[in-house]
Amino acid sequence: MICAGETSCHRMPVRVYFEDTDAGGIVYYANYLRYAERARTELLRELGFENSAIMAQKGVALAVRRVRAEYLKPARLDDALCVETRVLAVHGATIDMAQVVRRDDEDLVQMCLTLACMNAAGRPVRLPAEVRNEMVRIADGGPED
Amino acid sequence: MICAGETSCHRMPVRVYFEDTDAGGIVYYANYLRYAERARTELLRELGFENSAIMAQKGVALAVRRVRAEYLKPARLDDALCVETRVLAVHGATIDMAQVVRRDDEDLVQMCLTLACMNAAGRPVRLPAEVRNEMVRIADGGPED
Amino acid sequence: MICAGETSCHRMPVRVYFEDTDAGGIVYYANYLRYAERARTELLRELGFENSAIMAQKGVALAVRRVRAEYLKPARLDDALCVETRVLAVHGATIDMAQVVRRDDEDLVQMCLTLACMNAAGRPVRLPAEVRNEMVRIADGGPED
Amino acid sequence: MICAGETSCHRMPVRVYFEDTDAGGIVYYANYLRYAERARTELLRELGFENSAIMAQKGVALAVRRVRAEYLKPARLDDALCVETRVLAVHGATIDMAQVVRRDDEDLVQMCLTLACMNAAGRPVRLPAEVRNEMVRIADGGPED
């Protein structure tokens, strides 16, 4: 769900299952990155794009170039979480996003990511114009002019 | 969602994300078991039970004792799947279930499982009466009398 | 390591890490299938075949068509396990295998699998002759004549 | 293997299996964090500590507090990788590490992490003296005085 506002923000619910947890009784640290990727995929889908279609039709994919994650509090089995995604900036071949995994009104994990548009050979290429335009539209502060 | 009918059946939607697929372009075979466990967890939740609460309050957990899976057709990135779960039989300490991962009206993976109730020491114990009663209620053919 | 003997058996060590376990403190049930796939991959590699090369050169892949797993005892964090793999039978387009995940001399999980050779379109096709010959050679009871 | 030198560096080989890859044909971005955690576990083990024993005997665990990852080049199915781990700094309750996933002499993913020592309630606590001493010993530049 993309909510309008000063800063457009996409929200996706996530439930914690056994598969996500580890013997410490909490969600395994790498699995928050799986949650984050699901949320980015759903954000794209709501904008009208599917990863599989982008790969098949445009020959490109959005790959993570850089991620920074701060683990503030652990999530636990059966928790009902929410992943909030914001587009911070859109460049020619990359997109900057902020993602937060929350439980109620608590931030559990805060992430900053840079996604890069890559062709099938793994070379950086410009974002498809349609994707770029939609990302600019929902970016913080809206379209730059 | 548990639908009444000759055979009670729980249905849960599942979306295929990058994390679920492998370099063959299809869902990795072990990941259908993750989907199936999510569906069993949601079935329990709809009956009023959470895995974490059962462990904390009753000191028991439902562990998979046996699984058989037939892989008929592969699921792919972005597929919208459905996991159908049926309770086949409820015994003193075990439950038999059938689960199918479907895409539209096609069966992709068919599973049969036996779940066993285990205490914290990993010993088989009788199902908690509340869980057992609810499972009997939704079992195929309904309660035995 | 493939050991000769009445029944040829491939052995591969596996260590249990946090990523493999769940909030129940034991290895998550689907993850034994990941261990099994690693072992099958190493068996193939010792016979001179790599999955990526088979896909690139022959246009085929070995997909799991059916698996049955019996969960006897749980593995835990830091356990040193061994996956034992035996080729039971080799057919025109499929291979039957038995795999056991062991800790010392205890069987934890016993699996039976049927692998099917598939082309890029997901259609069953005959095994490449080289792969088939090597599989027959190490199959239980050795080559049939 | 911990190699002496100006900067002590732990090296662990990792093989890429189907489970690690995604439909893009490359290793899924979250899975490099799994590789990194395996390497940190093996580093601890070589120093004489097991995660399960630390949890059982000291009631503490080393949790990731912060991670930054730069994805430079993708790893692919069947790649033979190496995870290099360096201890950068040891504080009262946290440890800073650098980890690199390499293929031959190419850096694929570079990570910086801060690990925090947590008790069972999830509160930060001081590192056990034995663990701290060993970490200081192998830290870059050796023990501070």
Answer whether D66 sits within 8 Å of A65, measured CB to CB: no
Name which of C29, D94, C136, A11 is nearest B62 in CA terms. C29
User: Which residues of chain D make contact with B23, given a CB cutoff of 8 A?
Assistant: 18, 21-23, 25-26, 76-77
Is C30 within a domain?
A: yes
Q: What is the ipTM of this complex?
A: 0.93
Task: Please name the member of C18, C24, C76 whose beta carbon is closest to the beta carbon of A28.
Answer: C18
- Chain D residues closer than 8 Å to C34 by CB: 17, 19
Report how many Cβ contacts below 8 Å link chain B to chain C.
62
Candidates D15, D17, D27, D28: best to mutate against B (most CBs of B within 10 A) is D28
Q: Give the residue from B80, B15, D26, C120 showing the smallest Cα distance to A61.
A: D26
Would you place residue C145 in the very low, low, confident or very high pLDDT band (cuts 50, 70, 90)? very low
Q: Is D140 a catalytic residue?
A: no
pTM, rounded to two decimals:
0.94
Residue C34 within a domain:
yes
D29/A23 touch (CB, cutoff 8 Å), yes or no: no
Q: Does D143 reside within a domain?
A: no
C129 domain-assigned: yes
| More confident of the two residues A143 and C45 | C45
* DSSP assignment letter at A124: B
Residue D77 to residue D75: CA distance in whole angstroms = 7
Using CA atoms, how far apart are residues A64 and A47, in angstroms rounded to an integer? 19
Neighbour-count burial for B90-116, b at 16+ CB within 10 Å, e otherwise? beebbbbbbbbbbbeeeebbbbebbbb
Say what the pLDDT of residue A145 is: 44
Mean pLDDT (chain A, rounded): 93
- Is D24 inside a domain boundary? yes
pLDDT at D2: 65
Distance from CA of B27 to the nearest CA of C (A): 11
> How far is Cα D128 from Cα B50, in angstroms, rounded to an integer?
35
Q: What is chain B's length?
A: 145
Helix B31-46 vs helix B51-58: angle between axes, to the nearest 10 degrees? Answer: 70
pLDDT of residue A140: 73
Active site residues per annotation of B:
22
Residue D83 domain-assigned (yes or no) = yes
Alpha-carbon distance of B133 to B8, in angstroms, equals: 15
- The DSSP string of B93-139 is SEEEEEEEEEETTEEEEEEEEEEEEEETTS-B-PPPHHHHHHHHHHS
Q: How far is CA A87 from the centre of its chain?
A: 9
Report the neighbours of B using a cutoff of 3 or more CB pairs below 8 angstroms: A, C, D
Give chain A positions within 8 Å (CB) of B41.
Answer: 17-18
Average pLDDT rounded to a whole number, residues D100-128:
96
- Which residue out of D20, D22, D96, D105 is catalytically annotated? D22
Q: How far apart are CA D141 and CA B99, in angstroms?
A: 57
pLDDT in tens, B30-51: 999 999 999 999 999 999 999 9
Domain that holds residue A71: 2-138
Question: How many angstroms separate the Cα of D54 from the Cα of each of C80, D68, D127?
Answer: 17, 26, 11
Other residues' Cβ atoms within 10 Å of the Cβ of residue A36: 26
Q: C19: nearest CA in chain D?
A: D34
Q: What is the number of residues in chain C?
A: 145
Bridge partners of residue D84, in order along the sequence: D11, D100
Rama region for B122: left / alpha / beta (φ>0; ψ in -120 to 50; rest): left
| CATH number of the CATH domain containing A106 | 3.10.129.10
Mean pLDDT along residues A96-103: 98
Give, rounded to a whole angstrom, the gap between the first and last alpha carbons of chain D: 26
- B75 to chain D: closest CA residue: D23
Q: Would you say residue A118 lies in a domain?
A: yes
For residue B122, the model assigns a pLDDT of: 86
Q: Number of structural domains, chain D? A: 1
Does residue D144 form part of some domain?
no
What residue type is assigned to position D28 of the chain? Y
Do C23 and A21 lie within an 8 Å CB cutoff? yes
